[in-house]
Every structure is written in C-alpha cells, then in structure tokens.
Amino acid sequence: MKRRTFLLGSAAAAALTGLYTWQIEPFWVEHVQIDMPIRNLPKALEGKTLMQISDLHVGTRFNWQYLIDEMQEAQKLEPDIVVYTGDFVSYESAAQVEDLKAVFDKATKGKLATLGILGNHDYGHNWNEAKVADNIVQVIEERGVKVLRNTIQYVEGLNIIGLDDCWGTNFYPEKALTQIDDTQANIVLCHNPDVADMPIWEGYQGWILAGHTHGGQCKPPFLPPPVLPVQNKDYTAGKIDLEDGRTLYINRALGHLWQVRFNVRPEITVFTLRQA
C-alpha cells in the first residue's frame, strides 16, 4: 500500500510539473527592473527607461497572441527607449514573416526611439538566407522599428550601437565598433553573447545587451541549465561583469523555441538610465 501510494504521488507530481512547464511558466513573464549606469550620459536622460525585449520567435511552436498581449502590457510602462535584440521569428516559411506583421502592428514602442537588431533565426534556414533577413527588416521598419545592422543610432545624446548576428551573413562589427566615441554615452546591442569574447571591441567599455540563450529555458534548481546555444557556458542570463569595463546583460527571452520552461521565466527587462 505504501509503495502504491508513493507511485501514485510521484505520478501526480510529475503530471503537475509537466503541466506547469508547458502551460504556466512559458507565459509567466517577469518584468526585471535594473539600473544601468552609463558613462557620459546626458543629464536629460538621467532616470529615463530603456526596455529590452528579446527572442520573440514568432512561429508555429506556441500561440503568438501571447506576444501581442505581453507587448501591449509592457507599453503601459511608457518606456522611453525600446530595443529588440533579435530572433523575431522561428523561420520555417514565408508564413512566419506574414505573422510577424500582425505581431508588430501591436509592438511596444519607445517615446524617444524604437530600435532592433537581427538574430540567427532571422536569417532563415541554416542562418544563410539573406533575403529572409531583408524581408523581416522591411516588415518591422514599416511598423516603426529601426533595425541597426552594424550601425549606430544617436538618441538624445546616447549612441546605441547595433551589431548584426554573428551566425548570419552580415556580421561586420568593425563598421560600427571602430566608430565609437568613448567621450560620449554608448551601449551595444548584440544578439549572441559569445561575441563578447571576440577580439573586436576596440577597447569599448560599457553595456552590451544580448539575448539568444533563453537562459536555457529549463534549469534544475541550484544547477546550470543543461542546454545552452553558446560556447561560453558562463553566459546564461542576467548581468555579468566582464571585468574589463564592459557589462554584459543577457535577456531570458519573451518567446520560446519550444513551449516549455522550468525555473527560467520569460523576461522583459526595464533599465533605468543613470549617470555613472
């Protein structure tokens, strides 16, 4: 009888855990609030907010109406700047680009600027379909999101440097990084955090905002996630001091590759800009 009770209890616990990881945590979004001290930040930007939304993965693997609902909820926070750090779709066919139109008709936008960069999934199959990336850029730019492709956008005294994805066909970081003026305020957007380890940074010191990892999506308590799509397994999620004047922040993603999460809630990050 005790053994039977134990087995029934274990089965019930497994079923509840499965239900939680499939139907609850994938849609239980956390709004992470964090200060962002920036050198040379203009006084006019002190206290302004920068919202990071990453890895939407519009596609067939979960109901993307969830993304619309969450972005409309995020809009209520009235962010000053919004940045999207790549993987707008989980590309299978042109249908995902069409679906992206519906999602970005309701996109969260900043009062001062709304910017984005591309991720590997935005380059289609095997990350080498440049035409797919161009189509995605057209869709979101027509809806008010400026896409940075190894370029710099000046926003009220803050330079936002956007690198194209390192697995895609247009990764030329030197076009942007060699143009950085370290007497001004700067932040960098870079989808894949492994880029932080590449010898390309020209002495840059400041924040790097990334995504790509999803925090692993499933993580045992007190242990690292078993699966991470990066070479540097220290690059999981959250704020990481690179100990050379750079601070890396890895967003856990709003969307999912698959509709399953455990101990890694989806995230929208709200940074408050501060003078360093």
Strands (E), 194-250: 207-210, 238-241, 247-250
Residue 114 burial (10 A CB sphere; 0-12, 13-18, 19+)? buried
- Per the DSSP assignment, residues forming a β-bridge with 264 are none
pLDDT confidence of residue 1? 58
Strands 247-250 and 207-210: parallel
Strands 113-117 and 238-241: unpaired
pLDDT confidence of residue 18? 81
Q: How far is CA 272 from the centre of its chain?
A: 17
* Length of the chain (residues): 276
pLDDT confidence of residue 273? 98
Residues of the chain with pLDDT under 70: 1-13
DSSP 77-135: T--SEEEEES--B--SSHHHHHHHHHHHTT----SSEEEEE--GGGG-GGG--HHHHHH
Domains in the chain, CATH or no CATH each: 2-275 (3.60.21)
Q: Which of 207, 177, 193, 221 is nearest to 276 (CA)?
A: 207
CB 273 within 8 Å of CB 48: yes
Q: Which helix (H) or strand (E) holds 73?
A: helix 65-75
CB 238 within 8 Å of CB 1: no
Contacts of 275 (CB under 8 A, 6+ apart): 37, 38, 41, 43, 46
Other C-beta atoms within 10 Å of 55: how many?
A: 26
CB 253 within 8 Å of CB 214: yes
| pTM, 2 dp | 0.95
